[in-house]
Amino acid sequence: MAPSDLLRPALLAAARSPRMERTVTKIPVTRNLVDRFVAGETEDQAIAATTDILDSGRYISIDHLGEDTTDLGQASGTVSHYLTLLSSLAQLAPATDNGNGPRNIEISLKLSALGQFLPRDGHDVALENAHKICTAAEEAGVWVTVDAEDHTTTDSTLSIVGELREDFPTLGTVLQAYLKRTEADCRDLSGPGSRIRLCKGAYKEPASVAYQGKPAVDDAYLRCLRILMNGQGYPMVASHDPAMVDAALAQAKATGRTTDEFEIQMLHGIRDTEQLRLVTQQQHVRVYLPYGEQWYGYFMRRLAERPANLAFFLRSLTSKN
């Protein structure tokens, strides 16, 4: 087993530990590494980064950081953040709107930030909050995609997405290839008009529900990708893995998809040069851009993904500079 396979579960467990959060967020040098992955804490910083990314020919998906709230007021606060963000994005969207093709600007939502985990009526509160955001996004000409969180939320998330799609048919969602159920979900959700972002999956999941280890997850990703590419929806290929990106380009060609009928997605701060190279090859590349104060969980998942990130972080902690 690779050392990173041993560290990953510990880091992902730490991502959900309030005690670890208090410790890690107090370390001054954490900030340097956080800045590589997060656009900043304010909306102005997010809009400035968005403008740069759009100017470079890439598309954008903006995420206001926050997750796992069990506080109704906090969930409402997240809705307000998104509504303000959307009124700023409305200024950018019409100029860059692409008719019926892919929309340049998207926002990403986590239903757990909108109240899905509230002990009473969580499902309904998240649905109602997401509906308000989708209404404003539609008016702003902005796409919405609902992120995937840990497997205990998948049924509720897909059910909320199904209900929302009745009013907002362009709503997209994320499927995680590491979950054993996902091949079947890909088959169910690859019909006309669907928008599915396929990622490997970033949470700590038990072997009963998820493939473990990179080779098994990669194989599952390729199987899911084939289903989506052969389907009738719009696949969004979210991966930094050259093997997954190459497979997506090859399958798009084999299934006769035009460049407007799928896109590649990568996270802000990861493989920037490759993102720009793909744009020069006329591929649509969307950058997932998180911003906000609640960066801890997102940051820890990025550390868990790549030992080099963790090594950099640990070196920063021990460095005197």
Q: Which amino acid is at 81?
A: H
Q: Is 299 in the site for ligand FAD (CB under 6 A)?
A: no
Are 65 and 58 spatial neighbours (Cβ–Cβ below 8 Å)?
Answer: no
Q: How far apart are CA 27 and CA 39, in angstroms?
A: 19
Alpha helix (H) residue ranges in the chain: 3-14, 18-26, 30-37, 43-55, 72-96, 122-140, 154-167, 182-188, 214-230, 242-254, 272-280, 296-305, 307-318
Q: Show Cβ contacts of residue 69 under 8 Å, excluding neighbours closer than 6 positions.
A: 75, 78, 112, 113, 114, 115, 117, 118
Task: Name the segment binding ligand FAD (CB under 6 A); options: 73-81, 136-144, 153-161, 259-267.
Answer: 259-267
From 19-27, 65-73, 237-245, 276-284, span contacting ligand FAD (CB under 6 A): 237-245
Among this protein's residues, is 272 annotated catalytic? no
Binders of ligand FAD among 125-184, rule CB under 6 A? 147-148, 174, 176
> What is the dihedral sign for C-alpha 106, 112, 113, 116?
positive
φ, ψ at 291 (rounded to 5°) = -150, 160
Query: At closest approach, how far in Å is the CB of 174 from ligand FAD?
Result: 4
Contact residue for ligand FAD among 88, 240, 261, 312 (CB under 6 A): 240
User: Shortest gap between Cβ of 95 and ligand FAD (angstroms)?
Assistant: 24
Instruction: Identify which of residues 58 and 165 has a Cβ nearer to ligand FAD in the complex.
Output: 58
Q: For residue 212, with 0-12 CB atoms within 10 Å meaning exposed, 13-18 middle and 19 or more buried, which class applies? A: middle
Catalytic residue status for 147: yes
Residue 301 among known ligand-binding residues: yes
Q: Is 214 in the site for ligand FAD (CB under 6 A)?
A: yes
Span interacting with ligand FAD, options 128-136, 157-165, 198-206, 254-262, rule CB under 6 A: 198-206
List, as residue ranges, the binding site.
Answer: 110, 176, 200-202, 214, 239-240, 301-302
Residues of this chain that bind ligand FAD (CB under 6 A): 147-148, 174, 176, 197, 199-203, 214, 238-242, 244, 265-267, 270-271, 288, 305-306
What are the binding residues for substrate?
110, 301-302
The set of catalytic residues is 147, 197
